[in-house]
Structure 1
Amino acid sequence: MNGEPIRKIVIVGGGTSGWMAAAAISRILGDFPGMSVQLVESEAIGTGGVGEATIPQILSFNTLLGLDENEFVRETHATYKLGIEFVDWLRPGHSYVHPFGRYGIDMMGVEFHHFWLRGRALGKREEIDEYSIAAMAGKAGKFFWPQLGNPNSPLSKLSYAFQFDASRYARYLRTIAEKQGVVRHEGKVVEVVQDGESGFVTSVQMEDGSQIEGELFLDCSGFRSLLLGQALGVPFRDWSKWLPCDRAVAVPCTLAGEHQPLTRSTARPAGWQWRIPLQHRIGNGHVYSSAHMSEQEATDLLLANLDGKPFADPNPLRFTAGHRERAWEKNVVALGLAGGFLEPLESTAIHLVQSAIARLIAYFPTFAFGEQEIARFNRDTAREYTDIRDFLVLHYKATEREDSEFWRYCRHLEPPEGLAEKLAMFRSSGRVIREHEELFTETSWLSVMAGQGIEPQGYHPVAGLLDEAETLKRLDHIHSVIAQAVSQMPTQDDFLAQQGSAIPATERVQA
């Protein structure tokens, strides 16, 4: 073996990222002889998460931990999520859904949307949403588990994620991690101690004077990036020219309005507002550009557009879009906000933590701290951030809005090279490119490009092999099957009650 195995892991910071790492690492590596996982956090330091929504990859993380889904939903006061509804992004009054799952049925070896494009050319006006069971069920407030074992069912095209209370999720994972042997230390870190020759971190000194020694350190200290940014000085790569929003204000409100299994993003004059319905409350926030709107204006606009009554003070947040140039430096690996931040427009924050944990376990080091493994970890991490960045920029770039200085800037910005190529290809022929197994699928790219008004000049030639009547007949059949399936699904509230994962009515925050 190239070096002795690492046995002492110290996680600096709790919250979602810290406890996700603690739970996963202790689950996978906890039985290794002499393994020690310690987590340091302070109740006096709040967590910085601005989102409570996830994407379908969270299911694999929950499976890794062996979680019971009904218990998980109940303990975190979660709701289900079938996609994200984007309101007013193309133009005021317009909306569409980025669904989880697939559209229609692929035919004759090519993707369904090429037949939908041909149908549009023949005069059919149905939006692509109407051929997605996730989008239509979400709008109708319906939910049922995917039927992956029945490929003839429209439910086989369905995927889902969750919307949950992030603080409850962290507490839930803490319980699991501590049962698996993780030791928690309460207190503030006042100094990061490094080896004088190698620069490796050897311990963190606590406010009470004690020191916690380790061999591998995970920086989960949030925007402070206490180890990677401050102690090791890894530079930050600033992407604000493409993603100009640099502020957010968040506030919870009482339950009111629709209770759909969808996260909602509504465009505002200098950014956008999120709405995340949980079982006990609604999470709300306004992400905006401080160059185009003041904090007071942003807060007032948020409070004026809540479905329920706010029951906490608005929480302001500052950030810069981008990431540390290296997520792994020496014996420190940054997770979550300590390594980078991309606004929660597509609910990717928790996934970035999850994928970094999986990558760390795959390249888990010995004392040799191999350069090849660290370089690959950093390269894969940077590429993932870049892929997500391009997808987020698409939302701002593909718009008809010219009604504010912010939207004029976004509409006319020069897109990153990878995004420019994807846009050119889709405009040319309706083809959707997915690079190197990137996070977002062809369905995701299609949903935003079509939803935000990009009109292809053509479609795959195979879609023209069916005669016009047969094309229209098949589209009508798929449309009606999806509508019928949605009509037979239970509401999300009924589904939660049936599964025993609904919370008691007394725990709901009512007006």
Structure 2
Amino acid sequence: MQQPIKKLVILGGGTSGWISAALTKKLLGNAIDVELVESNEIGTVGVGEATIPPIKLLNDVLGLNEAEFLRETQGTIKLAIKFENWKNENHSYYHTFGAAGKSMAFCHFHHFLKRTGELENDSKLWDYDLNALLAEDGKYAHIRHQDPILEVPYAYHFDAGLYAKYLRKFSEKIGVKRTEGTVARVHQNQQSGFIQTLELKDGTLIDGDLFLDCSGFRGLLIQQTLQTGYEDWSHWLRCDRAVAVASERFDKTLPYTRSIAHKGGWQWRIPLQHRNGNGLVYNSAYYTDDEATDLLLGNLDSKPLTDPKIIKFQTGRRYQQWHKNVIAVGLSSGFLEPLESTSIHLIQSAVVRLVHLFPQHGINQAIVDEYNKQSKLEFEQIRDFIILHYHVNQRTDSLFWQDMRNMAIPDTLAHKIELFKQDGRLFRDQNDLFLESSWLQVMLGQGLVPNSYHPMANAMPEAQVKSMLQKIKAIKHEPLASIPSHDEFLKRYCG
């Protein structure tokens, strides 16, 4: 349908709607009109409160002041996720945003640890990771240093509802039009099937050329109207429900997310400045909703502030995330459980992808196909990384974990695991969100140790290797004494 795209209509607010509005209007400016339709009567899922480092790029592109952003969203710093009871009970490890050791030419740092025998003790890896050392001590500060070995990549925890409100103020200031109302009917072109108009309950008509469906699990445009279809991944990712509850803040604000495995699922704990976010992702074949709720409430570190909320979901993705003149963004596009805090990133990347491929002269199939190809690959790569956590476990205490360990997995993931098992080889697939350091931490943390190492690690004498490792460890530990606690940092920085 070769019709110039002059107006973008976003259906739904929340995090996905307002990120979409803010980014498209900021980057495309006067080239396009942006109107967002939302209803205060329709709630949002609103449990996504942990992010990954690309969120910083989003905020920077929008020109947001970090201290103000943290104040407005009651945000905190996130250095890592701490996985507890995943390998087996009473065992824990970090997946940090940093990397252990230092970058070595053509040979990953962990091969040198394998040569000296340190890799067999999985806790040794994190002795060389500044993110992990800071997380363990409950500390954070912006480290200004020229040496990349002391870089501390970070993301945020924040209140998703407050973030949406913050972005709404920003978006309306730069020209986004917000319309309050609930959609009663969707009008399509009889020949093409393209959506032309949203008719609201009060009779208001919203015309558009391109529509973003940010209506959540309902998928009002992408599924209920266009019947796009859904690829079910629940045979790999068996959890199908979550129960969420907010609780009072802790005395000490941890600079990391906690992910705590239970017999039939896992629990998240996310620290904010004013409260904590908690939830239990579970398999309904192992826990009833009441059992899951009781388990979550019985494992809170502070008093609940709200009633528990049950969320039902099906892991997977739309067969086409761009269909006709509708692009699904957020939960309408698919769902991957929040184990690695990718939900908000998938919103961000969907909108950035649209901007890169924006069809200013009209929608054509080549653009749509490229968008869908990239979206499919991104979802599949994140899917494989999440499956890895479940599949490479050593727990014997429940049928759930045994089933996850013994299930068939995607060939792409099986290949990655086999390469690492042999001699620690890690290769980042093109555009994979997760770097080699992420795959390394989860594989080692779950107890997968390679049989051998790369021969380049033998290029220097053993004594020299040990001396090098000692120096790197000393450099990583040196800043710790002068860095304040996370709470002290937030108090000074946010005011």
Residue identity opposite 2:179 in structure 1: H
One-letter amino acid matched to 2:198: V
Q: Could you say which residue in structure 2 is the equivalent of 1:129?
A: 126
SS at match of 2:359: coil
Deviation track 1:124-159 (CA, whole Å, cap 9, x = no partner) reads: 775211111001101111112254x5126x422x20
What pairs up with 1:80-95 in 2 under 5 angstroms?
80-95=77-92
Question: In 1, distance between residues paired with 2:366 and 2:451?
Answer: 45
Distance 1:205 1:76 in 2: 33
Write out aligned runs for 1:397-436 (5 A). 397-436=391-430
Look up the match of 1:204: 198
What is the CA–CA distance in structure 1 between the aligned matches of 2:86 and 2:470, rounded to whole Å?
28
Shift of 1:50: 2.7
Instruction: Give the match for residue 63 of structure 2.
Output: 66
CA distance in structure 2 between the aligned counterparts of 1:117 and 1:97, rounded to whole angstroms: 19
What corresponds to 2:153 in structure 1? Answer: 159
The letter of the residue matching 1:441 is L
Q: Which residue of 2 aligns with 1:233?
A: 227
Cα distance change of structure 1 residues 370 and 123 upon mapping to structure 2, 3 Å threshold = closer
Letter in 1 for 2:23: A
1:496 lines up with 2:495 in the alignment: no
Contact 2:321-2:372 within 8 A present in 1 as well: yes
Structure 2 SS opposite 1:291: coil
- Give, in whole Å, the separation in 2 of the partners of 1:266 and 1:28: 39
1:143 aligns with one of 140, 145, 148: 140
Cα gap change, 1:403 to 1:64, in 2 (>3 Å): same
Residue in structure 2 matched with residue 508 of structure 1 by the alignment = none
Q: Which secondary structure does the structure 2 equivalent of 1:127 belong to?
A: helix
Shift of 1:437: 2.5
- The alignment partner of 1:31 has SS state of helix
Partners of 1:377 and 1:84 lie apart in 2 by 30
Contact 2:85 2:92 in 1 (8 A): yes
Identity between Structure 1 and Structure 2 (%): 47
Deviation at 1:335, TM superposition (A): 0.1
For residue 4 of structure 1, report the CA deviation from its aligned partner: 5.2
Which of residues 436, 440, 449 in structure 2 aligns to 1:446?
Answer: 440
For 1:58, give the aligned amino acid: I
Cα offset for 1:400?
Answer: 0.3
CA separation in 1, counterparts of 2:56 and 2:450?
A: 34
Could you tell me which runs of 5 or more consecutive residues in structure 1 were left unpaired when the two chains were aligned.
503-511
1:299-378 to 2 correspondence within 5 Å?
A: 299-366=293-360, 368-378=362-372
State which of 370, 374, 385 in structure 1 corresponds to 2:379. Answer: 385
- Matching residue of 1:9: 8
In the superposition, relative to structure 1, how do residues 122 and 207 fare at CA in structure 2: closer, same or farther (>3 Å)?
A: closer
TM-score normalised per structure 2:
0.97
Residue 293 of structure 1 and its aligned partner are, at CA, apart by 1.0
| CA deviation map 1:147-187 (0-9, x unaligned) | 4x5126x422x200000000000000000000011111111
Supply the AA of the counterpart residue of 2:17.
G
Q: CA RMSD in A?
A: 1.5
Residue 35 of structure 2: aligned partner: 38
Q: CA deviation at 1:108?
A: 4.8
Cα gap change, 1:426 to 1:257, in 2 (>3 Å): farther
Residue 257 of structure 1, CA deviation: 5.7
Render the CA deviation track for 1:73-97: whole Å, top value 9, x for unaligned. 1110000000110000001111000
Q: Within the alignment, does 1:274 sit opposite 2:271 as a pair?
A: no
2:480 corresponds in structure 1 to 486
Distance 1:258 1:94 in 2: 22
- Alpha carbons of structure 1 residues 146 and 196: separation in structure 2 relative to 1, 3 Å: farther
User: Does structure 2 retain, via aligned residues, the 8 Å contact 1:246–1:290?
Assistant: yes
* C-alpha contact 1:122 1:468 (8 A) present in aligned 2: no
Q: Which sits farther off after the overlay, 474-483 or 437-446? A: 474-483
1:55 aligns with 2:49: no
Q: Equivalent residue for 2:104?
A: 107
**SS at structure 2 position matched to 1:456:** coil
Structure 2: gaps (5+ residues) = none
